[in-house]
């Protein structure tokens, strides 16, 4: 049985031709940049902490000071953001390692399918984390007058700025992850397996 | 056998469409006005940007789900459906995550920021929004299943077709 480009194709599960596979440098470099983006978002948000002391009352002439801390772990949405981006960066790291070191590893021809499905899962997780953290930060920045929730960014400005930087890097990582997922799915097309009949 | 499979898939797509439609309708029609003493509070979904994003995203996906229900089986557009399923699933999960984050603050409050929960004051609004978000969660899970199925059928990742 011959395939379109004349490579020897075996019948059954091992239909992936393992010879003459050019390395996809664009895919690999996109993964490296996405790994750096999501890893930096995780680290910046996880080390986001600010302590500030306020004068809450005055007795006579001496003000009473209370110390308030703003940490990322106070908000469940930011905890989820850190976890999701940590997962995304770990996934990218594993994929980069597999690409560089383990190109011969294959699971009965399912390698491309596994990569595509895992990429799908990670891009949905990362976008969920981004969505939650974006709207929590918007709430912290603008407050909500209807629910009488005061904004906190005017008092904790460095905390808010660092959170914003983490969010922007996470968005860049998310867009790159989406492009990587599309490329992984397109790779499934290249082995003459597509069926033109709809489900 | 193939026909029952097709009907199953059509039902699944219809379930996804109706879940998104139901969540949009429930969240859009949730408003409550309470007044005690001289203060009057009105809770609407437009008070929060996250709920507005939720409603807009789910409306877009409702229209898409309605159009896909009528796609004939032999059309080549099923390849486009794979791509659009991916994009819309990512959109759905991002919007429901944002809405859940804000709803969690509304229900439990945030002690560190001094934000009080509002569910005690507007319980009917809170319950309706919870119902809408639950329907949205069903829609997200169904869309993830549909996405995996689209990839399986059009792209054959598990190499089940021997040709």
For chain A, the structural domain boundaries read: 21-197
Residues of chain B with Cβ-Cβ distance to A150 below 8 Å are 113-115
Task: Share the mean pLDDT of chain A.
Answer: 83
Q: What is the mean pLDDT of residues A146-161?
A: 88
pLDDT band at A22 (very low <50, low <70, confident <90, very high): confident
Torsion sign over Cα B61, B63, B66, B70: negative
Q: Using N-to-C axis directions, what is the helix angle for A76-101 and B78-108, rounded to 10°?
A: 140
The kind and range of the H/E element at A25 are helix A25-46
Measured between beta carbons, the chain A residues lying within 8 angstroms of B110 are 74-75
Q: Does the beta-carbon distance from A120 to B162 stay under 8 Å?
A: no
Q: Does the distance separating the beta carbons of A136 and B105 come in below 8 Å?
A: yes
Highest mean pLDDT among A151-160, A183-192, B16-25: B16-25
Interface mutation vs chain A, best among B58, B94, B108, most A CBs within 10 Å: B94
Per-residue pLDDT at B137: 96
> If you average pLDDT over residues A64-81, what whole number do you get?
90
Question: What is the rounded CA–CA span in Å between residue A97 and residue A191?
Answer: 24
B9 falls within a domain: no
Average pLDDT of span B28-47 = 85
Task: Name the closest residue on chain A to residue B100, using Cα atoms.
Answer: A132
Of A63-67, A164-168, B159-163, least confident by mean pLDDT is: B159-163
Lowest mean pLDDT among A87-96, B2-11, B15-24: B2-11
What value does the mean pLDDT take over residues B131-152?
94
Report which listed range, A122-131, A151-160, B146-155, is most confident: A122-131
Q: Are B13 and B65 in contact (CB under 8 A)?
A: yes
User: What is residue A106's predicted lDDT score, i.e. its pLDDT?
Assistant: 73
- From chain A, the residues in CB contact with B157 under 8 A are 110, 112-113, 116-117, 188
Task: Write the residue in A127, A146, A181 that is nearest to B94 by C-beta.
Answer: A127
Does any domain span residue B5?
no
Q: What is the mean pLDDT of chain B?
A: 90
Q: Which domain holds residue B55?
A: 14-162
Rounded to an integer, what distance in angstroms lies between the CA atom of residue B66 and that of residue A20?
Answer: 45
What would the mean pLDDT of B95-104 be, rounded to a whole number? 95
Residue B73 has pLDDT above 80, yes or no: no
Mean pLDDT of B41-52: 90
Between CA A49 and CA A166 the distance in angstroms is 13
Name which of A9, A147, A152, A180 to mutate to probe chain B: the one with the most chain B Cβ atoms within 10 A of its Cβ.
A147
Give me the pLDDT at residue A186, please: 84
Position B162 confidence tier, pLDDT thresholds 50, 70, 90: low
Say what percent of chain B tops pLDDT 90. Answer: 60
Let me know if residue B1 belongs to a domain: no
Q: How confident is the model at residue A113 (pLDDT cuts 50, 70, 90)?
A: confident
Is residue A177 scored above 80 in pLDDT? Answer: yes
A contacts of B39 (beta carbons < 8 Å): none
Q: A33 pLDDT exceeds 60?
A: yes
What pTM does this model have? Answer: 0.86
Question: For residues B158 and A114, what is the distance between their CA atoms, to the nearest angstrom?
Answer: 9
What pLDDT was estimated at residue A195? 43
As a whole number, mean pLDDT of residues B20-37 equals 90
The reply to whether B106 falls in a domain is yes
Categorize the per-residue pLDDT at A2 as very low, low, confident or very high, splitting at 50, 70 and 90: very low
Tell whether B95 is covered by a domain: yes
* Best to test chain A binding among B31, B113, B116, B152 (most A CBs inside 10 Å): B113
- Residue B48 main-chain phi, psi, to 5 deg: -120, 135
Residues in B closer than 8 angstroms to A129, CB to CB, are: 97
- How many contacts does A have with B, using Cβ atoms within 8 A? 148
How many domains in chain B? Answer: 1
Task: Indicate yes or no: CB of A132 within 8 angstroms of CB of B101.
Answer: yes
Task: Quote the minimal CA–CA distance from A111 to chain B in Å.
Answer: 9
- Give A130's Cβ-side CA count (13 Å radius): 27
pLDDT at B110: 87
On whether residue B153 sits in a domain, the answer given is yes
pLDDT confidence of residue A160: 92
- Residue B28 belongs to some domain of the structure: yes
pLDDT band at residue B163, thresholds of 50, 70 and 90?
low
Q: Answer whether A195 sits within 8 Å of B153, measured CB to CB.
A: yes
Q: Do residue B98 and residue A74 have CB atoms under 8 angstroms apart?
A: no
């Amino acid at each position: 049985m011959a395939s379109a480009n004349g490579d020897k194709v075996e019948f059954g599960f091992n239909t992936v031709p393992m010879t003459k596979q050019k390395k996809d440098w664009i895919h690999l470099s996109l993964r490296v940049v996405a790994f750096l983006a999501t890893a930096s978002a995780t680290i910046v948000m996880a080390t986001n902490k600010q302590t500030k002391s306020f004068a809450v009352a005055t007795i006579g002439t001496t003000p009473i000071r209370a110390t308030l801390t703003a940490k990322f772990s106070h908000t469940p949405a930011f905890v989820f953001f850190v976890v999701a981006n940590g997962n995304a960066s770990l996934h990218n790291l594993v994929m980069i390692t597999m690409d560089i070191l383990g190109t011969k590893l294959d699971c009965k021809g399912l390698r491309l399918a596994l990569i595509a499905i895992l990429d799908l899962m990670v891009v949905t997780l990362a976008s969920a984390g981004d969505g939650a953290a974006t709207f929590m930060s918007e709430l912290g920045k603008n407050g909500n007058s209807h629910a009488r929730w005061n904004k906190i960014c005017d008092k904790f400005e460095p905390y808010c700025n660092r959170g914003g930087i983490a969010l922007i890097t996470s968005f860049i990582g998310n867009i790159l992850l989406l492009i990587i997922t599309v490329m992984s799915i397109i790779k499934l097309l290249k082995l003459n397996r597509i069926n033109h009949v709809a489900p | 056998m193939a026909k029952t499979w097709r009907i199953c898939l059509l039902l699944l797509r219809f379930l996804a469409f109706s879940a998104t439609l139901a969540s949009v309708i429930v969240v859009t029609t949730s408003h409550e006005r309470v007044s005690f003493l001289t203060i009057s509070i009105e809770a609407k979904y437009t008070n929060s940007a996250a709920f507005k994003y939720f409603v807009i995203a789910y409306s877009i996906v409702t229209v898409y789900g309605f159009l896909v229900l009528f796609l004939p089986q032999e059309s080549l557009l099923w390849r486009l459906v794979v791509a659009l399923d991916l994009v819309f699933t990512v959109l759905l999960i991002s919007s429901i995550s944002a809405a859940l984050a804000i709803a969690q603050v509304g229900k439990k409050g945030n002690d560190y920021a001094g934000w009080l929960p509002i569910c005690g004051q507007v319980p009917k609004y809170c319950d309706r929004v919870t119902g809408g978000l639950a329907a949205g969660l069903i829609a997200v899970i169904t869309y993830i299943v549909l996405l995996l199925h689209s990839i399986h059928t059009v792209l054959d990742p598990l190499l089940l077709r021997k040709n």
